[in-house]
Amino acid sequence: MARGTALAARGSRSRSVMTLVCAIVHLVGAVQFTFAVFYDYTQVKIPVEVQEMGGGFGGKFVFLTFWDAILQSVYFTVCLINDAAGDHSPNPQSPPLIRRIKDYMFSAFAFPIAMFVAITFWSIMAIDRELVLPKKLDAYFPLWLNHIMHTNIAIFILLEMFLSCRKYPTRKMGLLGLVIFMATYLSWTFVIYYNTNLWVYPVMDKMDWPSRICFLLAMLAFCLILYLVGDYINAKRWGELLHPKKDKAEIPNPDETLPMTDVELKEGSV
């Protein structure tokens, strides 16, 4: 009995420590991404002669990076609200609304979009930085802000994946939300082009129309793959807590359950 009580107390302390660690990660994430959005919007002023997309039609909202920074700031703020007034259990029977919002936001938006922005940015950056972040912008877009926008988003969303449990929605609902989000942004890039005759990202200037369409479809497909990757990782990390195995019913011994024959009954009565 004493050993069981000690194990329960140790488990409770472990859960309390994990809850505290998650809350700290959520707080740091919410503060840094909110500050990055504020600083980028109010302080980063790129002259039109340096970058034509710097402050014209659409402003900062022409960039998916800026959309994602807003998304991450909102998501980690929702996590903080859930830490304070929501539910932290792995598989609650009736999760509160804030917990359901948190779980869906992570699955459909926060994880795939953060990973998409980080992977595509640094991949193209390694090939030719002039296609995504020309060197002439370094004087206006500080290095620390670049890392918050393109590096920390991946680090913090991966920390969130492995530190905090969530229940993924049905694949249909999760993918539907992601498709709507990405289709909205990709449609927005065409609106920008129609009004400015400029593509948001220099890499698209070097393509013809068939290549651009294939490029955008490939980006959408990559996002959907990242959703599936997130679903897989979540199942591997939290599957035992989300779907606890039921104890197998004991199989009765056939010899003990078969009815006794007349001979056995007579022998037993002797």
Which residues, 6+ apart, have CB-to-CB distance to 231 below 8 Å? 107, 168, 171, 174
What was the pLDDT predicted at 49? 84
Which secondary-structure segment (H or E) carries 101?
Answer: helix 97-105
Cα 181 to the center of its chain, rounded Å: 14
CA nearest to 25, candidates 91, 89, 72: 72
From first to last of the 270 residues of the chain, give the pLDDT tens digit.
555 554 444 545 667 788 899 999 999 999 999 999 999 999 999 888 888 776 678 899 999 999 999 999 999 999 999 999 999 888 888 999 999 999 999 999 999 999 999 999 999 999 999 888 889 999 999 999 999 999 999 999 999 999 999 999 999 999 999 999 999 999 999 999 999 998 888 788 889 999 999 999 999 999 999 999 999 999 999 988 887 765 444 445 544 444 555 555 455 544
Find, among 86, 84, 69, the residue nearest to 29 by Cα: 69
